């Protein structure tokens, strides 16, 4: 099966122009799928729908996150589209195979008060604390992905917005609020007094003076989450979910949130935004033409 996988990876790299990280994720997911099939399956035509479902259920039982499950199915579906295009199979088994609803869990979202507690944790008397406050403020103020945060350069920030290079090398401008810009100014001021190299263009640096990486950002968010005594499972993506949800709860249009998050599909945005029952009730009372509060 490896020769079919190699051909598929070459195809998505050369003709589809997918990012290296996406190609590597597809390689891992499809390799896991082939391992599940076993050595008895040597050609894609031997695969049936039950084999695919069995693999996905095995991953679910192993405790894989919903996002990993969805990505695994996406990789398999992309692979089968390629096989059909190359006439290596007669029918695309995955054409009507959708991710089960039970995998599409609503992500954790912090309340506004929890978010404020989190942002208050870094010690502004230290350079590390100043950096961490700016980092947390930027994640929550913009809703950017952790990879986008790590990729920010000094020249990507101005007085009102940041320029972000998102998935598929798509560039977007995101407004930044006062608190985040103030925290960022304080961080850059502290950097001027440190050992930042004049040639270092990365915005956020480690204590060793190199570009910050996603694993460190994850550890930073986890550390301050524990310090703030937040009992929910928290990660950099939690701040992205909270950003979207808090905007929606204050009346922002979901299409605007889609643009800010850099989603190609509105369906993805809707999955990110968790609307409370109270907010739904308030929106109904405010906007439905047949609602009579005095009835």
- Catalytic residue flag (residue 145): yes
List 145, 241, 246, 271, catalytic entry = 145
Active site residue 167: yes
Q: Which residues pair with 202 in a beta bridge?
A: 153
Cα Rg of the chain, angstroms: 23
- Is 272 known to be catalytic? yes
For residues 44 and 88, the answer to whether their CB atoms sit within 8 Å is: yes
For tokens 């989190």, what's the residue? 118
Sign of the CA dihedral with 264 first, then 265, 266, and 270 last: negative
Sign of CA dihedral 152, 156, 159, 161: negative
Among 81, 237, 274, 279, the active-site one is 237
SS3 15: coil
271 vs 255: CA distance, rounded Å: 13
Choose, from 131, 246, 263, 271, the residue flagged as catalytic: 263
Q: Catalytic pick from 55, 77, 133, 240?
A: 240
DSSP string, 50-79: HHHHHHHHHHHHTT--HHHHHHHHHHHHHH
Active site residue 226: no
Residue 205's SS3 state is strand
Catalytic-residue membership of 224: no
263 as an active site residue: the answer is yes
Q: Which of 36, 117, 167, 274 is catalytic?
A: 167
Specify burial of residue 20 (Cβ count, 10 A radius: 0-12, 13-18, 19+). Answer: exposed
Residue 153: which of 205, 209, 218 has the closest Cα?
205
Of the candidates 26, 140, 187, 272, the residue annotated as catalytic is 272
Instruction: Report residue 52 as tokens.
Output: 């695919």
Q: Any idea which residues carry the catalytic annotation?
A: 145, 167, 237, 240, 263, 272
């Amino acid at each position: 099966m490896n020769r079919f996988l190699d051909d598929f990876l070459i195809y998505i790299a050369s003709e589809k122009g997918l990012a290296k990280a996406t190609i590597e994720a597809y390689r891992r997911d499809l390799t896991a799928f082939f391992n599940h099939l076993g050595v008895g399956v040597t050609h894609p035509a031997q695969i049936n729908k039950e084999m695919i479902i069995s693999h996905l259920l095995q991953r679910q039982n192993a405790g894989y996150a919903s996002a990993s499950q969805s990505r695994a199915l996406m990789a398999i579906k992309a692979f089968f589209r390629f096989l059909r295009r190359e006439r290596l199979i007669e029918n695309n088994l995955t054409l009507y195979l959708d991710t089960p609803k039970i995998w599409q869990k609503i992500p954790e979202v912090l309340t506004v008060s929890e978010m404020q507690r989190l942002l208050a944790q870094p010690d502004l008397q230290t350079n590390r604390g100043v950096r961490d406050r700016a980092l947390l403020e930027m994640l929550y103020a913009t809703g950017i992905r952790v990879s986008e945060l790590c990729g920010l350069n000094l020249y990507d920030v101005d007085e009102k917005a940041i320029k972000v290079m998102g998935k598929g090398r798509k560039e977007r401008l995101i407004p930044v609020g006062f608190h985040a810009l103030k925290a960022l100014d304080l961080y850059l001021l502290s950097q001027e007094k440190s050992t930042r190299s004049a040639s270092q263009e990365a915005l956020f640096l480690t204590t060793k003076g190199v570009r910050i990486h996603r694993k460190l950002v994850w550890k930073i968010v986890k550390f301050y989450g524990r310090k703030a005594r937040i009992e929910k499972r928290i990660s950099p993506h939690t701040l992205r979910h909270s950003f979207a949800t808090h905007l929606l709860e204050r009346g922002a249009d979901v299409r605007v949130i889609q643009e800010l998050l850099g989603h190609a599909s509105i369906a993805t945005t809707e999955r990110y935004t968790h609307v409370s029952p109270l907010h739904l009730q308030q929106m109904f009372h405010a906007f439905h033409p047949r609602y009579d509060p005095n009835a």
